[in-house]
């Protein structure tokens, strides 16, 4: 079953950024499906694309303050196998002074369905001082702009 237009539209409606990732043969484990740890790489790929989009990685190069993943979790819905292609949606939620929550959803093209959902707590971190720091104002503005103001708490 191919990913339906409705499934793709729903993913794009629920998330401000969607990345496409091919499922690699080497992603599978001895059980014949994509290993659970690989989903966290899928989340990471979407997360880094989001950070690039809102200028957080550029800010880190400039000032030393950047994102750090404080915690993450995943709810596995359906197993993935090779060959396939996944679409990973991500958005920010619960924006606070020094942190926000990233939301993720993985949709399989072959299955036409959600295969995993998760989140990750992102903390703004001063890598020079090795301590938490307020989210840079420019990054907050970019997040607000990308999210359309709809996710800010």
Structure confidence by residue, pLDDT tens digits, 59-97: 999 999 999 999 999 999 999 999 999 999 999 999 999
Percent of the chain with pLDDT over 70: 92
How confident is the model over 9-28, as pLDDT tens digits? Answer: 778 889 999 999 999 999 99
CB 100 within 8 A of CB 94: yes
86 lies in a domain? yes
- Average pLDDT over the chain reads 93
72 lies in a domain? yes
Predicted TM-score (pTM) of the model is 0.92
Strand partners for 92 = 102
**Domain with 121 in it:** 5-147
Q: In the chain, how many domains are there? A: 1
The CATH number covering residue 94 comes to 3.10.129.10
Q: Which residues, 6 or more positions from 20, have their beta carbon under 8 angstroms from its beta carbon? A: 85, 86, 87, 88
Q: How many beta carbons lie within 10 A of that of residue 5, not counting itself?
A: 8
Q: Does position 42 have pLDDT exceeding 90, yes or no? A: yes
153 lies in a domain? no
**What is the pLDDT averaged over residues 43-63?**
98
Q: Does position 36 have pLDDT exceeding 50, yes or no? A: yes
Q: What is the pLDDT of residue 10?
A: 75
17 lies in a domain? yes
Strand partners for 107 = 87, 114
Structural tokens at position 101: 């929550």
């Amino acid at each position: 079953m191919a990913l339906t237009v409705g499934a793709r539209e729903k993913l794009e409606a629920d998330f401000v950024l969607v990345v496409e990732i091919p499922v690699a043969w080497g992603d599978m484990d001895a059980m014949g499906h994509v290993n659970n740890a690989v989903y966290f790489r899928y989340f990471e790929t979407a997360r880094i694309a989001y950070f690039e989009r809102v200028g957080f990685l550029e800010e880190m190069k400039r000032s030393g303050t950047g994102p750090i993943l404080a915690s993450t979790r995943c709810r596995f819905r359906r197993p993935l196998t090779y060959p396939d292609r996944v679409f990973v949606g991500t958005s920010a939620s619960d924006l606070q002074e020094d942190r926000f929550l990233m939301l993720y959803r993985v949709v399989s093209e072959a299955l036409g369905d959600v295969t995993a959902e998760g989140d990750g707590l992102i903390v703004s971190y001063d890598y020079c001082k090795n301590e938490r720091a307020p989210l840079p104002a420019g990054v907050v503005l970019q997040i607000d702009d990308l999210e359309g103001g709809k996710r800010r708490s």
